């Protein structure tokens, strides 16, 4: 396993970060999904993964608690947690008690003393720039003060954000209070790459979420027709009915120039692409089985930044693709 330092921090994290969103039953049922997820988490830790993502929203932390409670590597793990305050229906008001409680809950559920990265987010309903951008200016000082208290108590390391949109990303960086972004990045979602040169210059960090575009960028299903009715991708279909079309378009765009770099496998390319940027320290990847962990570990063996290839992919995306 390779490790990279998150820009602007003292955190050396594995390039693979365990994403548990679908790694266990949400109701605490220790069924086959949950057992497979627990084995996947164990396998990831055995393979040297020292970075775990989690959220109270996924309802899967109970499985992580079971694995981590007495795990010998428990104290070597860095955690990144999702921390949405204010949430959808909080009317743009920041609540320090809620912010702190989410962190305290995570400390207890993850059997740890410190959360390395708070993936702070602010939400509104509707969650668009018109409603969100004015909120940021009103709350940022209070959010930062709440974070600094936790940091000074040794309970939190750094605060980054998932900005959702490009204007919100701009506004977030302009606050000067965040260590970087934890956000979507894959061959279909490169919107935040325009900030990379500035972030590198300012010694900030980027953690990638969903490198496989929720599994669409693998070769598992070729079209919506192949996705079973009860599969979670059916929910993705409602949100993004063009997901497979996007995959086809980006594959065609990248075919000759990029995919051959990875033995012609677009899935392999997707598993590696974010880490070709030196700014990206780790990829939060949904890992639900030991086989998926093994495959991801193999794909990332010896991975090194390849800024030229990353730039080439970004240039192609900008020129030919950029479907919003």
* DSSP state string for 135-164: HHHHHHHHHHHHHHHHHHTTSEEEEEE--S
Q: Smaller CB distance to ligand NAP: residue 21 or 159?
A: 21
- Does residue 163 interact with ligand NAP by CB under 6 A? no
Closest CA to 116 of 146, 59, 75: 75
Q: For residues 237-268, b (16+ Cβ closer than 10 Å) or e, as one string?
A: eeebeebbebbeebbebbeeebbebbeeebbb
Stretch in the footprint of ligand NAP (CB under 6 A) among 131-139, 150-158, 190-198, 281-289: 281-289
Q: Pick from 1, 2, 3, 22: which binds ligand NAP (CB under 6 A)?
A: 22
- Does residue 123 interact with ligand NAP by CB under 6 A? no
Alpha-carbon distance 217 to 210, whole Å? Answer: 10
- Does residue 61 interact with ligand NAP by CB under 6 A? no
Q: Smaller CB distance to ligand NAP: residue 9 or 119?
A: 119
- Does residue 21 interact with ligand NAP by CB under 6 A? yes
- Residue 230 has a CB neighbour count (10 Å cut-off) of 6
- Does residue 274 interact with ligand NAP by CB under 6 A? no
- Does residue 285 interact with ligand NAP by CB under 6 A? yes
Residue 20 contacts residue 37 (beta carbons within 8 Å): yes
Please report how close the Cβ of residue 291 comes to ligand NAP at its closest, in angstroms: 7
- Does residue 178 interact with ligand NAP by CB under 6 A? no
How many residues belong to the site for ligand NAP (CB under 6 A)?
A: 23
Q: Smaller CB distance to ligand NAP: residue 49 or 212?
A: 212
Q: Smaller CB distance to ligand NAP: residue 221 or 312?
A: 221
Residues 81-120, one symbol each (x = binds ligand NAP by CB under 6 A, - = not), give: -x--------------------------------------
Residue 24 contacts residue 33 (beta carbons within 8 Å): yes
Residue 156 contacts residue 150 (beta carbons within 8 Å): yes
Q: Pick from 68, 77, 178, 209: which binds ligand NAP (CB under 6 A)?
A: 209
For residue 313, the surrounding DSSP H or E stretch is helix 307-316
Please report how close the Cβ of residue 54 comes to ligand NAP at its closest, in angstroms: 7
Alpha-carbon distance 214 to 286, whole Å? Answer: 8
- Does residue 26 interact with ligand NAP by CB under 6 A? no
Which residues are CB-neighbours of 222 under 8 A, at least 6 positions away?
Answer: 244
The CA-based angle 104-95-103, given to 5 degrees, is 15
Q: Smaller CB distance to ligand NAP: residue 59 or 149?
A: 59
The tokens for 250 are: 């980006």
Stretch in the footprint of ligand NAP (CB under 6 A) among 18-26, 122-130, 241-249, 257-265: 18-26
Q: Pick from 33, 112, 161, 218: which binds ligand NAP (CB under 6 A)?
A: 218
- Does residue 205 interact with ligand NAP by CB under 6 A? no
For residue 180, the surrounding DSSP H or E stretch is strand 180-184
Q: Smaller CB distance to ligand NAP: residue 112 or 288?
A: 288
Q: For residues 133-156, b (16+ Cβ closer than 10 Å) or e, as one string?
A: bebbeebbeebbebbeebbeeebb
Residues that bind ligand NAP (CB under 6 A): 19-22, 53, 82, 162, 209-215, 218, 220, 284-286, 288, 292, 295-296
């Amino acid at each position: 396993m390779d490790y990279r330092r998150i820009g602007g921090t003292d955190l050396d994290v594995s390039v693979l970060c365990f994403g548990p969103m679908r790694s266990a039953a949400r109701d605490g049922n220790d069924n086959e999904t949950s057992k497979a997820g627990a084995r996947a988490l164990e396998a990831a830790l055995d393979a040297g993964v020292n970075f775990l993502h989690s959220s109270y929203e996924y309802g899967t932390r109970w499985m992580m608690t079971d694995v981590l409670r007495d795990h010998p590597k428990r104290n070597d793990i860095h955690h990144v947690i999702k921390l949405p305050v204010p949430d959808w229906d909080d009317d743009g008001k920041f609540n320090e008690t809620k912010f702190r409680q989410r962190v305290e809950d995570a400390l207890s559920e993850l059997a740890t003393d410190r959360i390395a990265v708070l993936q702070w987010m602010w939400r509104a309903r509707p969650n668009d720039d018109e409603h969100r951008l004015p909120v940021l200016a009103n709350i940022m000082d209070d959010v930062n003060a709440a974070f600094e208290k936790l940091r000074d108590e040794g309970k939190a390391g750094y605060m980054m954000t998932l900005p959702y949109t490009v204007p919100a990303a701009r506004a977030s960086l302009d606050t000067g209070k965040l260590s970087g972004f934890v956000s979507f990045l894959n061959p279909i979602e490169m919107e935040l790459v325009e900030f990379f040169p500035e972030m590198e210059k300012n010694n900030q960090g980027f953690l990638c979420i969903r490198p496989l575009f929720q599994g669409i960028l693998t070769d598992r299903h070729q079209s919506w027709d192949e996705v079973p009715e009860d599969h979670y991708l059916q929910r993705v279909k409602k949100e993004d009915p063009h997901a497979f079309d996007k995959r086809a378009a980006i594959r065609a765009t990248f075919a000759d120039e990029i995919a051959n770099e990875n033995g012609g496998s677009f899935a392999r390319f997707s598993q590696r692409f974010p880490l070709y940027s030196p700014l990206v320290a780790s990829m939060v990847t949904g890992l639900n089985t030991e086989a998926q962990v093994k495959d991801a570990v193999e794909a990332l063996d010896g991975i090194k930044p390849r800024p030229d290839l990353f730039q080439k992919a970004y240039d192609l995306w900008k020129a030919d693709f950029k479907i919003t």
